[in-house]
Amino acid sequence: ATSTASGDDAEGSGDAVYRIGITEPGAEIDPLTVADSDAQLIAGLVTEQLVSFTADGEALPRLATEWSASEDGLTWTFTLRDGAVFNDGTPVTAADVVATFDAIIGEDSVSPAKSAFTGILASVADAGDGDVAFTLARPFSDFPRLLAGNNTGILPADYEPGTWLDEPVGAGQFLLEDYKVGQSITFAKNPDYWNADEIELDGVELKIYKDPQASVLAFQAGDIDRISITPDVLATVDVDDYDTLSSGYSYFYGIHLNVTEAPFDDPTIREALAWAVDRQGIVDNVYGGTAAVGNDYPVLPDYLPQPEGIPQREQDLDKVAELLDGRTVSFTITTSFQLFGEVLQQQLNAVDGFDVELEVLSDEQYYAEGADSPWLNAPLTVTSWGKRVPSQYYGLFYADGAAWNAAHYANPELARLVGDFDATTDEAEREGLLTEISQIEWADVPTIIPALARSEVLQSKRVQGEFIAPLDFWSGYNFAGISVEGK
Amino acid sequence: MTEPLVSVRGLTVDYEVDGQLQRAVDRVDFDVAPHGALGLVGESGSGKSTIAFSLARFLPAGAVISADHLIVDGVDVLSLGTRALRDYRRTRIGFVYQEPARALNPTRTVGSQVAETYRLQGLRAAAARRATLAAFDDVGLPDPPQLVHRFPHELSGGQQQRVVIAMALAADPRLLILDEPTTGLDSRVEAEVIALVGRLRRERGFATLLISHNLPLVASHAERIGVLEHGELVEYGEAQDVVEKPQHAYSRLLVDAVPPLDAPSRPVVPSHAEPLLSVRRVTKRYGSALALDDVSLDIGRGEVLGLVGESGSGKTTLGRVIAGLARAEGAVTLNTTDAASKVPVQFVFQSPDASLNPRRTVRQTLARSIQLLHGETDPEELALSTGLSPDVLDKLPDELSGGQKQRVAIARAFAGRSPLVICDEPTSALDVSVQAKVLDLLVELQERTGVSYLFITHDLAVVRRIAHRVAVLRHGRIVETGSVDDVLGDPRHPYSASLVDAARSLRGGTTRSVPITAAA
Amino acid sequence: MTVTAALPDAEIAELLVSPRTRSSRLRRWRVLVARPSFTISAVIVLFWVFAAVGWRLLGLDPFADTGQRLSAPSAAHWFGTDRIGRDVFARVLAGAEPALLVGPFGAALATALGSTLGLIAGYRRGWVDQLFMRGFDIFLTLPTLIFLLVIVGAFGGSPLTIIIAVGILFAPGIARIVRAAVLVEMGKQYVPSARIQGESAARLIFRELLPNVWPQVLVQATLSIAGAIFISSSLSFLGLASAPPSPDWGLAVNENRTYLQAAWWTLAFPTLAIASLVVSLNLIADNFREVFRR
Amino acid sequence: MTVSFSSDANASVQASARRGLAVLRGRHNQVPRLIGQRLLQVPLVLLVVSVLVFWLIKIVPGDPGRNALGQYATAEQVQAWNEAHGLTGPIVERYFSWLIGFVTGDWGTSLIYGAPVRDLVIERLGNSLFLGAVAFVVLVPVAFALGALQARREGSRTDRALTIGLMSLASVPEFVVGVLLLIVFSLTLGWFPIQSSISLDGAPGDVTRALVLPAVTLALGYLSVLARMTRTGVLETLDSQYYRTAVIKGLHGAPLTVGHVARNAVIPTVSLLGIYLGSLLGGSAIVETLFGYPGLGALLVSATVEKDIFLLESGVMVTGVISLLALLLTDIALVLIDPRVRFEEGE
Ligand SMILES: Nc1ncnc2c1ncn2[C@@H]1O[C@H](COP(=O)(O)OP(=O)(O)OP(=O)(O)O)[C@@H](O)[C@H]1O
Ligand SMILES: Nc1ncnc2c1ncn2[C@@H]1O[C@H](COP(=O)(O)OP(=O)(O)OP(=O)(O)O)[C@@H](O)[C@H]1O
Ligand SMILES: [Mg+2]
Ligand SMILES: [Mg+2]
């Protein structure tokens, strides 16, 4: 089906198609290497991962039906589903799973997922009887969550990287039917999907909007069924006409302070800054309310366990004045997220003692390659982080020498606590450790996390059924139980 | 008496200038009989063109025209509606515009512009083409089948003017208005054209309004003559009467100023060992057409060489080659000893209109010329010396009358001391009184400064007045050179002879005898 | 009977100034000032000039959060407030500064560069023309974006950079137009007339030819002002450069365009500001042309 | 001192030989010459442009490998990806390997789309040409008509009103005009689709509906400038003596406007038209982005931003050819319209 005019001939033929607006994927689509969320969605509708999670953080069996960890926490064994087949008809076997993960963690892997497994997953092996054994380098209690990370859709063992678009293989819910570069991608229901009975849609259509305003208009005109909530969407669209899907917390922006250089080598200034930020203001102005106030540690509110007993920071100008003690701090905010930067600058400049400049860069400039890349070197950077388990964030930007440690922060105590946390499966113990970890992050303030954002979307009322989780890789883009009114 | 074709009473035209009315034509009365010919003469700026445009009811925005009545061919011109006015212009009048170079659309071939007029009369394309060829032939244009495909800038000045005449005749008008129709033509063609107009007038039965500053010419054509001064008709009567017994002082001035054809000529300058300019075997082609064919001539120091020849004979082209403006085969050598004369050749162009930058005031133009030519004068003085009043200095060329423009162009050439000045018909646009003054000026300048002129003209009387020697150019070849007396008094080449005859006959009869067709 | 010739509108007659007058410049100025479309335009342009220079003296704060997000125009906020609670009135006035810096100067640079090159190319013709024209072709062929990216990437998005970018970007187009006009002018007699007097090429180009192609140049100049103001906005539309929290009109248009339906005032007032400036400049140019014709 | 103007006989012989028959002189002969000359120059220009692009794109911030693999890939992975895609090594070598490929028809594979560049560019080119042509066809008559109307009524209310209207339009960027049109005609009235992702072989009705808004937006973007230039041109022409002559002849209506006004008035505008035609046919990034129209413009923007060098180079070459051809067309038009125009050095 090609999409002419309003692109709704899918409806015209009476098919029940769920339509989503996306922006153009920024790179070639290969399930092993896709990095941006739109490309991930395209691959994720076709491929299937071993497990996925609900909005509440509950694990759902997908290609794996059950799993368990060994006593020492160093081996995880996953049992594969019987009768699951790839869309070319071949059954999904342990060899395919092994090949997929070997490709991710292999020496010459270019998969961005590799970093998630580095230092955790040592090897993968066929354990016979449809079982796959993952051998870890250190105990990691959240390991199943890693298997619901990006790029973890299972591919056939003989998959040749870079050929996916020619032959979009996978064992997922949908079949890629037509890809019109820069315009739309249509998917049809995969009749051989293991859970085909619960997929009520005839297909999914992804429509590419290069401009956000165009997608708002398309949503208003009923050309697409959902749109993410942003402040301008909220202001423009009458929310009551649609269903609001409030899905889980999925990302946040971290304000990283370079602790090795003035002015942020001075902990009192970092703390003053943390008390100067109007967190609710950021939630309102930047996220249009679709976020929770953050407390400077990267634990998403729907993650279990949660740290307990750490006081919530709020804007406290007396404390700021006390900490600054008459000093005036000047610095520049460097970011690629204009709105965040503007709001932060506005807030800080309204506080005595701060004199703040703003430098907004394009993504390409901000994340430039090389040793002097702005996002890793500027004194104060604002960077986006997608959904992870707390200890992964440690590995991303708190750990000494971590590749993305924009704060240049190091704390051996924190390293030890995170190691313990990962190795523990006991819930109470985990909560205690997480509280200790968070307390350090809160007190040292290498990173200010003023808000934790939810992905909230508005959805057309013609859609029935509730999504188990947001459309994201950790939820496996789960369409089970969703249907739309045919025409 | 039959009902006149044109009847004008109390015609008054004012131009609105900065919210004030300035009178250009003041209560003028005249008639033109159905097949009659009226001549209007008057000095530059006296309102001749304005009257002509009033008859076509085509005046620039800002002009206010009023009349007790203005009837042409039974049509009350001032009361016409848009459509009627259009029809009136299309069917009743033909108009030959004063400046042919600008009256023709530069982007279209001349043939198409004439054919267009025939199409307007209802002819089909093929018929219009044929009619155009015939009309080109009628007005004496050479090789019409080839010429119709040319663009205006590819024609000589006289050729352009003839195209415009052909265009006006094509309308088969009841009234043909000719606003200085022959300024660019040599005496022979001028006579021919006037004769042609006269013949057609009788054959086709239209009336003419002929405007010119050339009194003999007007007298040779018109039955009645009106003399204009400052917008007023100061004399109006039978042609013969006006010419022979002018009543008004200004009319007398006009008559007296006509340069006599048999005035004594200037003595030949004794030839130097080394001529100032020597032209050797110059040949110039435009495409495959020869514009100059193996031309050789000399001009001595302080000598004025008159260059005469019919329109299109290559006079201007030769001037351009000498000035270095056009490339040609052959050699042009200028022997100057005067180190001060950085710019050895000056040029007074045929069409002053185009040679002045429309966006620069007279003062700017003159001041710059003085600077460039290292002159020792200032713009005021220069203007005065060419008979321009100082108040034109701050005007732009479009704000000047044709005569004034030409004087600016002359002034410019004399801003410094160039040993050779090429004058390309410098007096053709001037009325006779001014023409006489300018010629005096040119002679005076020449005598005072000792420069040499290459003086291009078609007016033999002018040649007699100013030149020491004369060269006759025909079809790009020099057919005769010699002293003025020799060539004009006793022309050896038949072509020279015919030129002289034409000039004489035009001037000889002051009544409306039409010399060339006199036999008819 | 009196007929006013060929005159569509009596008003024009009054305003039209005929040639061949003795009128002084002063008189024409008086006519000019008497024309409402001129006077109003001049007042608007002057207003923006004052705003650009003096907005700080008015005690306006175009950056502060007023506490009211997206509030409609009211007595407190004449032009309403924007998405992060800034006063749109203050921002529009303050935005005159970058706009009047980048717009006129960028356009002036482009016009100066473009007409100079176009004049030279059209005057010299031959190989110079070929060389220049192919050079311009390179610029016209090279995607604008790469060009801007390189410039903005290398020198940042400061007004000076944008001015230079506008200058280089718009010049080839202007040059082509000017050259075409010059090619026509070269066919006119006044060029050889000047040349025969020994006029230098430079003066011939700038004193003789330039005044005659000036109308075209002027049109291009006034039109590139709007283009110049928009360069930064187009850049930010394509996500390439922006300089928040600058109140730049062009940037404001892009930043607020998503609020077209929800909060029209955030978009309408900066747009009106640009339009008022551009329209006024054009009307001033028109009036000049009509009054000082020739 | 002896000043000699001895002329160059050779040159003038050559000149006359070049010009050939008198009737064919000038313009008819200039055109083939112009074309011949340009056919030699265009590849040279393109060559220079391609070198510039290859070199300049290096300065543009960003890294294709990083773009492809995202924030979480390590620097080593990015490097490996770049190597695998032939983006490392000496730039001169890479340039020549691209150039040879391009000339022999192997345009490479797009880094962003993973599809063959040639198919991608050719398909988009078709769309861009189509949209651009439609916009041009809408634009030119309207602009000419408005400009002419304004000139005829110079100084009148109509003139002023149109100036204000057109200049205001010029003061609103395309992406705002486009959105306004979308809100009115698509969202409120529902006449046209929001997105114009068309396939040209679709039903003609659908294709037309999809084209209207982008084409109009595109045309509006150029309208004011073009109308303004036309106005200036017509004003100059109406001042001319030949126009007056034509009126006195009794000409009116089409023959007058076409024969004596349009041609002459359009001369200064022609070169602008060439630039516009080139940029319209080469695709407009902003309109395509807004309307989701699959044209070359947006493709090239993506290619630039994502540093997809192979796609970019080929795209630039193709749009380059188009715009250079458009410019050539204008030069030809100029010669045909105005016989006085000479590109050779004057006499
Ligand atoms: N458009 C105009 N606006 C104002 N004054 C004008 C205009 N046209 C002509 N005049 C004035 O009207 C008077 C008559 O001009 P007109 O052109 O009729 O003179 P003319 O006798 O034809 O002169 P010439 O022999 O130089 O052509 C002159 O004083 C002139 O300055
Ligand atoms: N640019 C040109 N292209 C082609 N032919 C031309 C060009 N200029 C002049 N000619 C032709 O060359 C011949 C000589 O022209 P030129 O202008 O020298 O004549 P002229 O003697 O000055 O005539 P007039 O007295 O009418 O001004 C004419 O036949 C003319 O048609
Ligand atoms: Mg006159
Ligand atoms: Mg001549």
Amino acid C59: pLDDT: 85
Contacts for D23 with CB less than 8 Å, ≥ 6 apart: B146, B149
CA distance B96 to B209: 10
First to last CA, chain B: 27
- Closest ligand by atom to B44 CA: 1
A-chain CB neighbours of D112 within 8 Å are: 25-28
Mean pLDDT over C200-215 rounds to 86
Write out chain C residues lying below 8 Å of A216, CB-based.
Answer: 258
Distance CA A363, CA A374 (A): 10
**How many Å lie between the alpha carbon of C168 and the closest alpha carbon of chain D?**
16
Per-residue pLDDT band for A147 (boundaries 50, 70, 90) equals very high
- CB of residue B187 inside a 6 A radius of ligand 2: no
Q: Is the pLDDT score of B510 beyond 70?
A: no
- What is the rounded CA–CA span in Å between residue B365 and residue C24? 19
> A358-391 burial, b if ≥16 CB within 10 A, otherwise e?
bbbbbbbbbbbbeeebbbbebbbbbbebbbbbbb
The predicted structure's pLDDT at residue A282: 94
Calculate what percentage of chain C has a pLDDT beyond 90: 15
Binning pLDDT at 50, 70 and 90, where does residue B187 land?
low
Q: Is A104 exposed, middle or buried (0-12, 13-18, 19+ CB in 10 A)?
A: buried
Q: Give residue A7's pLDDT band: very low, low, confident or very high (50, 70, 90).
A: very low
What are the residues facing B472 on neighbouring strands? B308, B480
| Predicted confidence (pLDDT) per residue in C13-43, tens digit | 332 333 333 345 667 778 788 888 899 999 9
| Spatial distance between the Cα atoms of B422 and B426, rounded to a whole number of angstroms | 9
B452: Cβ contacts below 8 Å, ≥ 6 apart: B276, B277, B299, B300, B301, B302, B303, B304, B305, B419, B420, B421, B446
Q: What whole-number distance in Å separates Cα of residue B454 and Cα of residue B423?
A: 6
Q: How far apart are CA B78 and CA B55, in angstroms?
A: 9
Is B140 touching ligand 2 by the criterion CB < 6 Å? Answer: no
Whether A358 and A342 have beta carbons less than 8 Å apart is answered as yes
Ligand 3 centre distance from Cα of residue B174 (Å): 22
Pairing of strands B224-229, B37-42: parallel
pLDDT of residue A347: 94
User: Of D300, D132, D298, D294, nearest to D219 (Cα)?
Assistant: D132
Q: What is the DSSP string of D100-112?
A: HHHHTT---B-TT
Distance between Cα B16 and ligand 3 center (Å): 18
Provide mean pLDDT across the span D116-123. Answer: 91
Q: Over the stretch A300-313, which tens digit does the pLDDT of each residue have?
A: 998 888 999 999 99
Q: What integer is the mean pLDDT of A55-70?
A: 91
What single DSSP character describes residue A313?
Answer: P
**Per residue in B332-391, pLDDT tens?**
888 876 654 567 888 888 777 778 888 888 898 898 888 888 878 888 888 887 778 887
Task: Tell me how far the alpha carbon of residue D21 is from its chain's centroid.
Answer: 36
Closest CB from C186, C237, C282 relative to D286: C237
Contact (CB, 8 A) for D151 and D291: no
Distance, in Å, from the CA atom of B194 to the CA atom of B199, rounded to the nearest integer, reads: 8
Q: Are A143 and A58 in contact (CB under 8 A)?
A: no
Nearest Cα to Cα of residue D50 among D100, D104, D86 = D100
d(CA B155, CA B458): 17
Q: What integer pLDDT is reported at residue C241 of this predicted model?
A: 60
Q: Crossing angle, helix C144-155 and helix C210-237, to 10 degrees?
A: 70
- The amino acid present at B28, given as its one-letter code, is V
Percent of chain A whose predicted confidence (pLDDT) is above 70: 97
pLDDT of residue D288: 87
> Cβ contact (<8 Å) for A343 and C240?
no
Distance A433 CA to ligand 2 centre (A): 103
pLDDT at B273: 64
Q: What are the structure tokens assigned to D136, written together?
A: 């041009």
Question: How high is the pLDDT of residue B339?
Answer: 53
User: Which is nearest to A183 in space by CA: A9, A24, A28, A44?
Assistant: A24
Phi first, then psi: what are they for A71, rounded to 5°? -50, -50
Is residue A440 within 8 A of residue A417, CB to CB? The reply is: yes
Cβ-nearest to C176 among D153, D271, D320: D271
For tokens 């450069």, what's the residue? C241
ipTM for this prediction: 0.77
Instruction: List b or e across D243-282, with b for residues whose CB sees 16 or more CB atoms inside 10 angstroms.
Output: bbbbbbbbbbeeebbebbbbbbbbbbbbbbbbbbbbbbbb
User: What spacing in Å lies between the alpha carbon of A198 and ligand 4's midpoint?
Assistant: 96
Could A108 and D194 be called an inter-chain contact, meaning their C-beta atoms sit closer than 8 Å?
Answer: no
Comparing C-alpha atoms, which of B312, B324, B388 is closest to residue B155? B312
Evaluate whether chains D and A are touching (3 or more beta carbon pairs less than 8 Å apart).
yes
Q: B303: which residues sit within 8 A by CB, 6+ positions away?
A: B269, B276, B452, B453, B468, B469
Per-residue pLDDT tens for B80-127? 888 888 888 888 888 887 677 778 888 888 999 999 888 888 889 899
CA of B403, closest atom in ligand 1: 26
CA distance D70 to A34: 8
Chain centroid to CA A33: how far?
15
Mutation for A interface: C81, C235, C261, most A CBs within 10 A: C261
Quote the CA–CA distance of B201 and A218 in Å, as a whole number.
Answer: 77
Count the Cβ atoms, other than its own, within 10 Å of residue D241: 17
Secondary structure (3-state) at C198: coil
* Residue range B270-279, pLDDT digits in tens: 666 678 888 8
CA distance B106 to B103: 9
Query: How is chain B split among helix, strand and coil, in percent rounded to 5?
Result: 40, 25, 35
d(C-alpha A464, C-alpha B52), whole Å: 87
CB of B404 within 6 A of ligand 1: the answer is no
Q: Looking at residue D272, what is its pLDDT?
A: 83
Q: How far apart are CA A480 and CA D323, in angstroms?
A: 51
User: Where do we find the tokens 């033909």?
Assistant: B94
**Closest approach atom of ligand 2 to CA B350:** 27
- As a whole number, mean pLDDT of residues A374-389 equals 92
pLDDT at D241: 81
What pLDDT sits at residue D4?
41
Rounded to an integer, the average pLDDT of A433-444 is 95
What integer best gives the mean pLDDT of chain B? 82
Q: Does A115 touch chain C (CB under 8 A)?
A: no
At C20 the three-state DSSP class reads: coil
- CA distance, residue A188 to nearest chain C CA (Å): 33
Strand partners, A18: A204
**Residue A486, number of CB atoms within 10 A of its CB:** 12
- Residues B303, B336: contact at Cβ < 8 Å? no
3-class secondary-structure state, position A432: helix
Chains interfacing with D (3 or more CB pairs < 8 Å): A, B, C
Which pLDDT does position D25 carry in this prediction?
A: 43
Interchain CB contact of A138 with D (< 8 Å):
no
| Residues pairing with B483 in the sheet | B469
Nearest-5° Cα angle at A121, A115 to A126: 130
Contacts A–C by Cβ distance under 8 A: 57
Test C64 with A350 for CB contact under 8 angstroms: yes
Q: Residue A222: closest CA among chain D residues belongs to which residue?
A: D187
> Is residue B44 lining ligand 1, measured as CB closer than 6 Å?
yes
- Which helix (H) or strand (E) segment holds residue D69: the answer is helix D64-69
Other Cβ atoms less than 10 A from the Cβ of B17: the count is 18
Do chains A and B meet with 3 or more Cβ pairs nearer than 8 Å?
Answer: no
Element (H, E) at D61: none
Joined together, the tokens standing for residue D187 give 């969202």
**From the CB of residue A312, how many other CB atoms can be counted at a distance below 10 Å?**
10
Measure the CA–CA gap between B204 and A79, rounded to whole angstroms: 114
CA-wise closest residue to A54 among A466, A483, A456: A466
- Ligand that comes closest to the CA of residue D26: 2
Whether B323 lines ligand 1, by a CB cut-off of 6 Å, is no
State if residue B187 touches ligand 1 by the CB under 6 angstroms criterion. no
What's the token pair of residue D19?
């010009």
- SS3 for C107? helix
Nearest Cβ partner of C262 from A235, A360, A365? A235
Do residues C205 and B349 touch, judged by C-beta distance below 8 A?
A: no
pLDDT at A153 over 90: yes
Q: Which amino acid is at A342?
A: E
The residue type at A54: T
| Contact call for residues B266 and B421 (beta carbons, < 8 A) | no
Dist. CA B179 → ligand 3 center (Å): 7
Query: From CA B456, how far away is CA B318, in angstroms rounded?
Result: 10
| Ligand 2 touching residue B319 (CB < 6 A) | no
**Is A160 an 8 Å CB contact of chain D?**
no
Give phi and psi for B511, each to the nearest 5.
-85, -170
